[in-house]
Amino acid sequence: TYYRHHRYVPHFYRYREHSANAENLLPEVSNPVPEVSQPGVPTFPEIPEVFHPVPEVIHPIPEAFHPVPEVVHPAPEPYYPSPEVYQPVPEASSPVNMTRVFYGIMFDAGSTGSRIHIYKFIQKDPVELPVLDNEMYHAVKPGLSAYKDNPEEGGNTIRQLLKIAKKTVPEEDWKRTPVVLKATAGLRLLPEDKANALLKEVQDVFDESPFFVPNNSVSIMNGAKEGVLAWVTVNFLTGHLYTNTRKTVGILDLGGGSTQITFLPKSKKTVQSSPSSYIAKFDLFNHTYQLYTHSYLGNGLYAARLATLGALGADGLDWKVFTSSCLPKKFREDVTFGGTTYKVSGIPDGYAGYKLCYYEVMKVIKGIFHQPYEVKGSSVFYAFSYYYDRAVDTGLIDGSRGGALEVRDFKKRAKEVCNKMTKYRAISPFLCMDMTYITCLLKEGFGFKDSTVLQLAKKVNNVETSWALGATFDYFRNFNIH
C-alpha cells in the first residue's frame, strides 16, 4: 500500500465567457444567475464542467509536457435533477463571495485491491470556474472479492480507507462531500449473492459515515462504462476534450479480472464492422461522442493467469496442481485470486520458454477478441494499470516517469524474460506468463502492429489514470451512456 498527496498548479486559467468568439471552446451555458438556495434542491456542489486548453500535438514524451487541464464549474444554471444527484445537500459553509473548496470521494473496488480517490476542487468565487486542485490516492490489497466469505471484514477495509477521507476532507465539509463506490471485475465474477452481501456491507459503512451518501452510491459498474470513464479521465488529463479537432487518445486498461479497450473511431468502417454492443454513445460537455469500447471479463491479468493454467472454473482445487511452461520449472506455490486458492507449479521435467508459453496463452485469447478495424492505423493509445506495472517490473520504462513503447518492445522483453526465467524469478515467477500474455493480447487479441506506439502512464499531471475521475465527473454531471 502507499499514500500520496498530489497537487498540480494549472499553467493558466480560462474563464467562462459569453462571446461570439469562435475560438472560445467553452460550452454554452445560461447567463450567470445568483445562487439561491431552495429547500430540497442541492445548491452545492454545482454540476461541474471540465475545461482544457487546446491540446498540443502529441509526441511520445513524458506526461509533464501535456497541457494542464482544469475542472470547471459553470456559473449557477437551471438545475435539472437526475436520480443520482437529486438529493438535498447541506449548504456550503463558506460565504458566497469567498473561495470555496469542495471534494468528491470515489472508491474503486477492483479485483486486486480497493482504492480511494479524493478529488479536491477549488472555486474562487461563484462566477469563476472551479479547478481540479489535487487528488489524494490510497490503495489497499486484496480487493473486496477476497472477502466473499467474510463480507464484514471486506467492509472493514473500506472503513479503514474512509479514515483517510476524514483526515483529508475538513470536518465542516464532510456532510456535503459525496462518497461513491464502484466495483469492477472482482465482484462481476462472484456469484450474485456473494457480491450483494459485500455491497450491503459497504453501504452500511457509508451510512454510518459522516459523508454525503447519494442514492445508488454503492454498485457494480458495467464494463462498457468502465472503459468509457477511463477514456474520459485520460482525455481530460491530456487536454483532448473540448477541441474542434476531435483529436483524442485511446485507452488500454489491463486490470486483474478484466481488460478494456476504448477509442474514438475516425473511420466509419470501424463502427460498421463492430458488434453494436461495442459502440457507446454519450454526451459530454456539449459534444456527442461515439466510442468503440469493450471490456473482456476474465481477461484481466490475474484471471488470464488462471485461465492459462486451466484452473479458472476447474474442480478438484484441493488436490489438483495446475502447471504451465510459462512458469519456472521448480516453482510451486498456492495462489489466491477472488478469494479462491489454487495450487500451481512449473513443469519440473518438461520445457519452459517463450514459444511454448505463447501457445498456452493463445488459448485464452483466440476466438474471444474482436479486432477493431482502426487499431492497425495511427491512433495514439495510453496504456496503464498492469501494462504499466509490468513494463516497470521488466525495466522497459522508468517507474516514476512512464514513457513510450512499441508493441514489439513487450515482445522482445517477453522473450528475454521467458528464456532466462531464473534471472527474472526474483521479480516475479509469473513475469514470463504476464509479459507473454500482454504481447499476445496486444497482437493477437486487439490486432496491434509491432510498430504501434503505446504511451505508458500511471499518472497524468499527478492524477491517477483510472476510470475514477471520469466517474466523479459522471456523478456530478451525469452524462448518459447508451
Residues in the chain: 482
Report which of 78, 96, 75, 79 is spatially closest to residue 32, judged by C-alpha positions.
Answer: 75
Whose grid coordinates read 450474485? 192
464 is catalytic: no
**The three three-digit cell numbers of residue 464, written as one number:** 491517477
CB of 413 to ligand UDP, least distance (A): 18
Nearest to ligand UDP of 183, 352 (CB atom): 183
Crossing angle of helices 354-365 and 431-440, rounded to 10° = 50
Nearest to ligand UDP of 146, 284 (CB atom): 146
- Rg of the chain's alpha carbons, rounded to an integer? 23
Nearest to ligand UDP of 68, 109 (CB atom): 109
Classified as helix, coil or strand, 355 is helix
CB of 387 to ligand UDP, least distance (A): 9
CB of 468 to ligand UDP, least distance (A): 6
Please count the other Cβ atoms lying within 10 Å of the Cβ belonging to residue 420: 12
In angstroms, the CA 79 to CA 71 distance is 19
**Contact (Cβ atoms closer than 8 angstroms) between residue 434 and residue 386:** yes
Q: Which residues pair with 378 in a beta bridge?
A: none
CB of 109 to ligand UDP, least distance (A): 8
Nearest to ligand UDP of 265, 339 (CB atom): 339
**Contact (Cβ atoms closer than 8 angstroms) between residue 233 and residue 468:** yes
**Contact (Cβ atoms closer than 8 angstroms) between residue 97 and residue 126:** yes
CB of 259 to ligand UDP, least distance (A): 7
**The three three-digit cell numbers of residue 98, written as one number:** 469567498
**Contact (Cβ atoms closer than 8 angstroms) between residue 456 and residue 387:** yes
Whose grid coordinates read 465542516? 172
In angstroms, the CA 28 to CA 53 distance is 16
> From the candidates 226, 360, 374, 464, which is the catalytic residue?
226
Nearest to ligand UDP of 53, 300 (CB atom): 300
Please give the backbone phi and psi of residue 201, each rounded to the nearest 5 degrees, phi first: -60, -45
Contacting residues toward ligand UDP, per CB under 6 A: 108, 110-113, 115, 143, 184-186, 255-258, 300, 385-386, 389, 458, 464, 466, 468
Q: Which residues pair with 481 in a beta bridge?
A: 282
Report which of 418, 391, 416 is spatially closest to residue 405, judged by C-alpha positions.
Answer: 391
CB of 435 to ligand UDP, least distance (A): 15
b/e per residue, 425-464, with b = 16+ CB within 10 A? beeebbbbbbbbbbbbbbbbbbbbeeebbbbbbbbbbbbb
CB of 110 to ligand UDP, least distance (A): 2
Give the Å distances, CA to CA, from 45 to 100, 169, 422. 10, 15, 55
Nearest to ligand UDP of 68, 463 (CB atom): 463
CB of 403 to ligand UDP, least distance (A): 16
Backbone torsion region of residue 402, taken as left when φ is above 0, otherwise alpha when ψ lies between -120 and 50, otherwise beta = left
CB of 219 to ligand UDP, least distance (A): 14
Nearest to ligand UDP of 218, 468 (CB atom): 468
Nearest to ligand UDP of 35, 389 (CB atom): 389
DSSP assignment of 366-378 equals TTT----GGGGS-
Distance of CA 460 to the CA centre of its chain: 13
**Contact (Cβ atoms closer than 8 angstroms) between residue 370 and residue 436:** no
Classified as helix, coil or strand, 280 is strand
**Contact (Cβ atoms closer than 8 angstroms) between residue 195 and residue 183:** yes
Strands 258-263 and 287-297, by their bridges, are antiparallel
Nearest to ligand UDP of 160, 273 (CB atom): 160
Catalytic residues: 226
